[in-house]
Chains A and B, each alone.
Chain A
Amino acid sequence: MSAGAKAAVEFPDRPGRRVLAKPLRAGRRALAAYLPATLLLVALVGVWEAWVRVFDTKPYVLPAPSRVWDAFLETRDILPGHIRTTVAEAAIGLGVAVAVGVGLALAMATWPLVRRVFYPILIVSQTIPMVVLAPLLIIWFGFGLTPKVVIVALIGFFPIAVATVDGLTGADGDMIGLIRSMGGRKRAELWYVRIPAALPSFFAGLKIAAAYAVLGAVIGEWVGASSGLGIFITRSQNSFRVDRVFVATAVVALVSIGLFAAVTIAARLATPWMYIRQGEEEEPL
Chain B
Amino acid sequence: MAAIELRGLSHTFGGRRPVPALAGVDLEVPDGAFVSVVGPSGCGKSTILRVLAGLQVPSGGEALVGGGSTIGRAGLVAYMPQKDLLLPWRRVLGNATLGAEVAGVPRVEAKAAALGLMERFGLAGFERSWPAQLSGGMRQRVALLRTFLQPARTLLLDEPFGALDAITRRGMHIWLQDVWMRDRRTVLFITHDVEEALLLSDTVYVMSPRPGRMVARVDVAFERPRTGGLVVEAAFVRLKAELLGALEG
Contact = CB atoms under 8 A, between A and B. Distances in A.
Interface of A: prevailing SS: helix
B87 A193 contact: yes
Interface of B: prevailing SS: loop
Nearest to B75: A183
A196 B55 contact: no
Please tell me the size bucket of the interface on A: 20 to 34
A228 to B, nearest CB: 39
A175 B87 contact: yes
B132 interface: yes
B55 A180 contact: yes
Nearest to B79: A181
A199 B88 CA distance: 12
Contact of A192 (B77, B88, B102, B125): B102
Interface string A175-204: 101111111100010001100110100000
Given A174-B83, A276-B130, A181 B53 contact: yes
Interface in B49-70: 50, 53-55
B89 A181 contact: no
Nearest to A193: B87
A239 interface: no
B98 A174 contact: no
Contacts, number: 62
B10 interface: no
Given A174-B83, A273-B130, A278-B132, A179 B89 contact: no
Contacts of A226: none
A118 B102 CA distance: 32
Contact of B102 (A182, A199, A273): A182
A132 B103 CA distance: 53
A271 B132 CA distance: 14
A273 B88 contact: yes
Interface of B: 50, 53-55, 74-75, 77-79, 81, 83, 85, 87-90, 98-99, 102-103, 125, 130, 132-133, 150
22 contacts: A175-B85, A177-B50, A177-B53, A177-B55, A178-B81, A180-B55, A180-B74, A181-B74, A181-B77, A181-B79, A181-B81, A182-B75, A182-B79, A182-B98, A184-B102, A196-B89, A197-B89, A199-B89, A272-B130, A273-B88, A276-B130, A276-B132
Interface of A: 1, 172, 174-175, 177-184, 188, 192-193, 196-197, 199, 271-273, 276, 278
